């Protein structure tokens, strides 16, 4: 009788209904991700960090990914997203084709837990998103920039509240940023050298004439 019960449809239905609440609690901190703008490994890592921060601090950090928002204003776009997520929250917005990158907080107190200007800065050795996007404009660089920006937000919030995150990128994240920033500086130095060399050469050629 016991074996028959476990094989019955009634048991399967009961088991499914039992697990529904747990399935609904599974939070996805990556919104949209149209056409797999970032890879599933990055999505998994972001969800891992987001889940740990929420469990330890009660703050939800989301990232919204889109190729374009079309004719929708950024304000309306944010209002639409805000209806789908839990408060208190931080929302990293990345729109690839429209070149929109922004960070929105549900309230001022949450916004003070991280340095928005630093994270969004285009300056190498300072910003954690835009410098990566200047290297190569493809999906790999977009994935790296998204992960680095998200990790920076999460880790700064955790540090602000004296929390340790086991899922944090930590030194690996910093090493990636140093590598990217070194490339940016090298490219800048080479471009500056070529410009100066060209100007000097032009000056002497003109002087000889």
Lowest mean pLDDT among 13-17, 74-78, 96-100, 129-133: 13-17
Buried (b) or exposed (e) across 166-191, using 16+ Cβ within 10 A? ebbbeeebeebbeebbebbeeeeeee
Per-residue pLDDT band for 16 (boundaries 50, 70, 90) equals very low
Residues forming beta bridges with residue 104, ordered by sequence position: 91
Q: ∠ CA 105-146-123 to the nearest 5 degrees?
A: 85
CATH number at residue 182: 3.10.310.50
Q: Is residue 16 part of a domain?
A: no
Q: Is residue 11 part of a domain?
A: no
Q: Report the pLDDT value the prediction gives residue 135, as an integer from 0 to 100.
A: 72
Q: Is residue 6 part of a domain?
A: no
Largest CA distance in the chain: 106
Q: How far apart are the first and last CA of the chain?
A: 106
Q: Report the pLDDT value the prediction gives residue 27, as an integer from 0 to 100.
A: 72
Residue 179 has pLDDT above 60, yes or no: no
Tell me the residue range of the domain where 191 lies.
27-208
Per-residue pLDDT band for 6 (boundaries 50, 70, 90) equals very low
Buried (b) or exposed (e) across 79-89, using 16+ Cβ within 10 A? eebeeebeeeb
Q: Is residue 43 part of a domain?
A: yes
Domain count, the chain: 1
Q: pLDDT tens, 64-90?
A: 999 899 999 999 999 999 888 989 999
What is the model's pTM?
A: 0.72
Q: Is residue 17 part of a domain?
A: no
Q: Is residue 108 part of a domain?
A: yes
């Amino acid at each position: 009788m016991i074996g028959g019960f476990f094989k019955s449809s009634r048991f399967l239905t009961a088991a499914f209904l039992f697990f529904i609440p747990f399935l609904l609690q599974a939070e996805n901190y990556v919104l949209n991700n149209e056409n797999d703008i970032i890879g599933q490994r990055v999505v998994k890592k972001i969800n891992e960090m987001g889940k740990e921060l929420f469990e330890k601090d009660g703050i939800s950090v989301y990232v919204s990914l889109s190729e374009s928002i079309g004719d929708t204003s950024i304000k309306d776009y944010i209002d639409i997203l805000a209806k789908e997520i839990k408060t208190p929250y931080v929302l990293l917005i990345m729109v690839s084709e429209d070149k929109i990158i922004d960070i929105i907080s549900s309230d001022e107190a949450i916004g003070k837990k991280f340095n928005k200007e630093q994270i969004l800065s285009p300056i190498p050795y300072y910003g954690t998103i835009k410098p990566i996007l200047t290297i190569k404009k493809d999906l790999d660089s977009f994935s790296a920039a998204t992960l680095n920006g998200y990790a920076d937000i999460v880790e700064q919030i955790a540090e602000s509240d004296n929390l340790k995150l086991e899922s944090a990128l930590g030194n690996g994240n910093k090493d990636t940023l140093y590598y990217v920033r070194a490339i940016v500086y090298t490219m800048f130095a080479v471009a500056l050298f070529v410009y100066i060399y060209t100007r000097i050469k032009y000056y002497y050629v003109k002087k000889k004439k």
